[in-house]
A and B are shown apart, each in its own frame.
Chain A
Amino acid sequence: MENPYYPYPVRIASTVIETEDRNLKTFKFEFLDPADEEKFSYMPGQFAELSVTGKGEIPIGIASSPTEKGFLMFTVNKVGVVSSALHNMVEGDIMGVRGPMGNWYPWEKLQGKNVVIIGGGFAFTTLRSSIVYMLHPDNRKKFGDIHVVYGARSPGMLLYRDELAEWERRDDINMHITVDRADDPDWKYNVGFVPSITEKNAPKADNDTYAIVCGPPIMIKFTQPVLEKLGYAHDHIIMSLENRMKCGIGMCGRCNIGMEFVCKDGPVFTLEELNRTPREY
Chain B
Amino acid sequence: MRFLKITKNDWARGVEGLKDSFRVFGPVLERSHFNFRPLEKGQEPDFSFRNTRLSPKSTVYPQSEILFTYTLDKSRPDHHVHKEPPRDETPRAILGIRPCDAKAFGLVKLNFDTPEYKDPYWLSAYEATTLVGLACDEPCSACFCTSAGSGPFDEAGLDVLLKDEGDHYLVKVLTEKGGKLVSAAGWAGEASGAEKAFVDGAAVAAEKITSFVSADKLAGKVTNQLHNAKFWDDVAFSCINCGTCTFLCPTCWCFDIQDEVAGTDGVRMKNWDSCMFPLFTLHGTGHNPRGQKTDRVRQRFMHKLKYFVDRYDKGIMCVGCGRCVQHCPVNIDIRRVCEIMNEYEPEPETCPA
Contacts and interface: CB of A to CB of B under 8 A. Distances in A.
On whether A and B touch (CB less than 8 Å), the answer reads: yes
Interface of A: 1-7, 9, 32, 51, 53-58, 79-80, 83, 93-96, 217, 242-244, 246-247, 249-259, 264, 276-281
A250 B117 contact: yes
B80 A252 contact: no
Contacts of B311: 259
Interface string B77-95: 0011110100000000000
B273 A56 contact: no
B111 A251 contact: yes
B81 A3 contact: no
A280 B311 CA distance: 18
Contacts of A6: 68, 82, 84
B109 to A, nearest CB: 12
A9 B80 contact: yes
Interface stretch (B118-126, B151-159, B338-346): B118-126
Contact of A1 (B67, B68, B118, B224): B118
B72 A4 contact: no
B132 to A, nearest CB: 26
Chain B binding surface SS class = mixed
Interface in B232-269: 253-259, 261, 266, 268
Contacts, number: 136
Contacts of A252: 254-257, 273
B227 A258 contact: yes
A53 B73 CA distance: 11
B120 A56 contact: no
Nearest to B291: A280
Interface stretch (B33-41, B167-175, B279-287): B279-287
B256 A94 contact: no
A259 B307 contact: yes
Given A3-B120, A259-B311, A253 B255 contact: yes
Which of B68, B275, B306 is packed against the most chain A CB atoms within 10 Å? B68
A278 B223 contact: yes
Contacts of B84: 3, 6
B257 A249 contact: no
B282 to A, nearest CB: 6
A258 B255 contact: no
Contacts of A250: 111, 114, 116-117
A251 B253 CA distance: 8
A251 B259 CA distance: 18
B112 interface: yes
Contact of B284 (A57, A80, A259): A80
Given A1-B124, A254-B254, A277-B223, A95 B68 contact: no
Nearest to B124: A1
- Which 9 pairs show the lowest CB-CB distances between chains A and B? A253-B254, A79-B284, A259-B307, A94-B80, A80-B284, A53-B80, A280-B289, A249-B117, A278-B227
